[in-house]
Structure 1
């Protein structure tokens, strides 16, 4: 009467080099691997997750087939792509509660490269849609995956794990929000086409900025980048003219000298009637004159400033991660109790059915011998018999449902089944 085992096999950014993860990634999507896993004799339910940072397979199997199931899954998904030595070195295996805990950590972004990032939950839900479509997940994995989504939501709601910027680009946007508040009517000027500047622009677009203007030495590159943000492209020579109309400037060129000085910005501020202007200098060496920061209503942050913000926020996020971990542990206990309940349910149902059958037969015999009883008297005897049966069943039921440190669940189930002879023919109970 053992419940099925829950197993999770995988590799991630913590355990496995990128070169190995690339070989194991499901480049062709989930369709074929899900179908192939469904052909394995040892496993029952299965689910796959493949992202840039991890490849994981979650499945259930009969407890006596755990090792066979692990071997079959490894051979199908991983063994043909990497060596046996790499399999042993990099692939981790989690069983039952530890598998549940790991899944909850992944969903809550506690196992991510950047703790608290929100992208992984969307990837997890997308992978689950494929599993549902192929009907590869059943009662246990459906419950487990839905629970992982609710755990992630609880972590987001009860902690501030995702509130602090932990990337340079996100830190820049958070600073802009502190200066301007709502960014929906603001215009952004992207100077150069550095990767971090692009990421900052993506974050700003996500906050609903009104317009993105791209200035670059190569106009063709500026046009392509502007198209990504439904913006417009200008030549780098138009930089000063554009300063009059924009609110946020993100600079990331490869220039060896400063491209903007304090005197340039001072003249622009007169034209702007002193409306705030926010500069983010992500270039190394710097694009912007540090003295610009001395002007009224002008705010300049360079990459060191942003790094300081990120480091402070990482410390804050680590504190929030401790709270999130407590939530995960609580939810693992709840999931464990649900799974334990699944194992005892068949015995509880059989025990209840057996006793109900005995009550019905004995009440029928008794009423057959007692002639002249009216309907109310007959019902009183039936209620009395049912009440006695329920009181007798109370302690065996509690014994099955309640954890005992000294006696395992399987032992408790076996004891109750032996005591009440549940594995005998039902006709034997009725004699």
Structure 2
């Protein structure tokens, strides 16, 4: 099998493009099943963050794989290929494996060495496992990538200096205002990014923090942790009137604040400057806000220019991690080569077993006078002969498979022992099994979607019956 990754990230696409390709959290299970059913895809994992959307797939053939992935993206997001092809990167095999290790360890992040991406990749892998879109190859690769990233962070200390998107947002505000003392900070959203932002704000001296969220309970939980005030979205405009700094990070699919909404508030603020940072993808804050008087708007792409103070040490640590990654790639490739030999060994053992059984049947027909004990002894001895004959060839082909031209050695081994028919039968059986699993998964998804629809319609149906 071949490993391929296709994606867009902050380097290849601005936020205005990336936000069109953000998977809604509730859609990921269905997206995984849809991707798994794509032609040539055997295993898959989807990694989606504010800075990247990536499709990791294991395919049985590289031919047309890039085309199939582009078609999946086009159909799922309903965006023509022409609008995203120039922003899309596709890496194959060793380049794809190297990319995954760099992403997981934080070397491909906007903030070099940030650790949040490790948890996001791990969660994406667990979700794929839960919905049975991974197999032996990705189960090993992603576990290895996560384990290596943890060790890299510990051994190099690359994440010791607090540099992250939320940290950069807070640093940007500090540069503009000098200090957060007596400044009223409004945080919109109460998720992980908001929590990190609140943490950095309080560490920087902010003591007037208001957290606004759709769910009051979550807002209260976050606000209490940092001695702030909690509120709900219906009071957002009231808090906006008093705020000096607004940092927004919600999961909304549309703008939380539009230019029209803020326009009336600005009149009551009497020319007081309003500093706004949007760290959400898709964006929470209408880009037109940046054109309004006394409003200073920054989105997630603007934060790249903030990170500088701790980058030098992180870059030194990154060199060490790159060396660790190369060693991990070698180890994975050696393992994957031996994995490829498994079907050939199984085919050889199956063929030898069939020949042994045919021989025993022939022996019993020619010597019907043999009793059960004699047959048992003969069966055991002849089976031992077969196993001893196979032992050395199996050991040697395992060794050869891990070498540079391992694929050629495996093909030659299969031809020498005439295993083509057995291998083809195995391949057909695996394809049939995958087809059954895909159909079962689609049925489960249909049932889940139907259950959700029925659940959402339950109140209206009950009202109609009443």
In structure 2, relative to structure 1, the CA distance for the partners of 1:337 and 1:100 (3 Å cut) is same
CA contact under 8 A between 2:45 and 2:133: conserved in structure 1?
yes
CA contact under 8 A between 1:47 and 1:128: conserved in structure 2?
yes
2:398 and 2:221 mapped to 1: Cα distance?
A: 66
- The secondary structure found in structure 1 opposite 2:13 is coil
Shift of 1:398: 4.6
1:328 alignment partner, one of 296, 319, 325:
325
Shift of 1:401: 2.8
Aligned twin of 1:148: 145
What is the correspondence of 1:104-119 to structure 2 with a 5 Å cutoff?
A: 104-119=101-116
CA contact under 8 A between 2:158 and 2:314: conserved in structure 1?
yes
Aligned twin of 2:8: 11
Deviations 1:157-211, CA, capped at 9 Å, x for gaps: 22111112336985999xxxxxxxxxxxxxxx95203589996651376x9x9x9
Aligned twin of 1:73: 69
CA contact under 8 A between 1:399 and 1:412: conserved in structure 2?
no
In structure 2, relative to structure 1, the CA distance for the partners of 1:195 and 1:328 (3 Å cut) is farther
- The secondary structure found in structure 1 opposite 2:315 is helix
Aligned twin of 1:417: 414
What is the correspondence of 1:339-378 to structure 2 with a 5 Å cutoff?
A: 339-354=336-351
1:168 and 1:33 mapped to 2: Cα distance?
A: 27
TM-score, normalization by structure 2: 0.56
2:316 alignment partner, one of 314, 319, 325:
319
1:111 and 1:227 mapped to 2: Cα distance?
A: 33
CA contact under 8 A between 2:400 and 2:406: conserved in structure 1?
no
TM-score, normalization by structure 1: 0.60
CA contact under 8 A between 1:190 and 1:215: conserved in structure 2?
no
Structure 1 portions without partners, runs of 5+: 174-188, 217-224, 234-251, 255-282, 285-308, 427-431
2:49 and 2:155 mapped to 1: Cα distance?
A: 26
In structure 2, relative to structure 1, the CA distance for the partners of 1:390 and 1:88 (3 Å cut) is same
- The secondary structure found in structure 1 opposite 2:420 is coil
2:8 and 2:386 mapped to 1: Cα distance?
A: 55
Shift of 1:344: 0.9
CA contact under 8 A between 2:6 and 2:56: conserved in structure 1?
yes
Shift of 1:229: 2.8
Structure 2 portions without partners, runs of 5+: 171-179, 188-193, 211-218, 230-242, 246-273, 276-305, 424-466
Shift of 1:423: 3.4
Shift of 1:346: 1.5
1:33 and 1:380 mapped to 2: Cα distance?
A: 52
Deviations 1:361-404, CA, capped at 9 Å, x for gaps: 69x98xx9xx9xx9xx9999879947862675266425543313
Aligned twin of 1:138: 135
Aligned twin of 2:393: 393
